[in-house]
Amino acid sequence: MKIVVAGTDTGIGKTVFAAGLACALGAGYWKPVQAGLEDETDSVFAARMGARVLPEAYRLSRPMSPHLAAARDGIEIDADGLDVPAADPLVIEAAGGVLSPLSKRSLFADLMKRWNLPVVLCARTTLGTINHSLLSLEGLRARGIAVLGLAFIGEANEDSERSICDFGKIKRLGRLPWIEKVTAQSLSQAFAANFDLGDFTS
């Protein structure tokens, strides 16, 4: 079982969700492209939460869009060479939003199409989420990418969450609330209380 965790935007809590999912499933965690190395990286965070982390394919210095971060480091991301590791089960965290560019020729959604793996779309619950979520769903579906459902992150917003799922005709997987102090224990408890693992494995 391999699942891609994608987001409607950057900075929405996707890494916390992906780490929580990997730990809950006893799966490996892989972020193929890490942009920004000054602070705690997403892989280091996932390892701190208890996930079994696979090394990134690209470690880029600056916290920018992957294509730009790579250019600043004097390299180009070879999206065609980014193959899914053999580890199974595996949770793969995408970089940025669904249509984040990896290079001048490819978007992350193009890579997800080639991988042909089911996607969990993470969406925030704050203002603007309806538009971002529905556009992200359209971008995935236009490429024939299977979406398991929506995982919301943040404070409850029942109207927005219901509107996205109704208009997008998509399953609501649950909502991960903001956790005041994220630890392996607090994340595990929050994930268990708000998600049904059967939705990710069936």
Catalytic residues: 31
Q: What is the DSSP letter of 83?
A: P
Rounded CA-CA distance 174/120 in Å is 11
Contact predicate 77/70, CB 8 Å: yes
Rounded CA-CA distance 119/146 in Å is 6
Query: Considering only CA atoms, which of 167, 160, 116 is closest in space to residue 138?
Result: 167
Query: Considering only CA atoms, which of 59, 57, 58, 77 is closest in space to residue 67?
Result: 77
Task: Give the full edge-to-edge strand order of the sheet including 90-97.
Answer: 52-53, 28-30, 90-97, 2-7, 119-124, 147-153, 172-176
Query: Considering only CA atoms, which of 99, 118, 119 is closest in space to residue 110?
Result: 99
Rounded CA-CA distance 137/133 in Å is 6
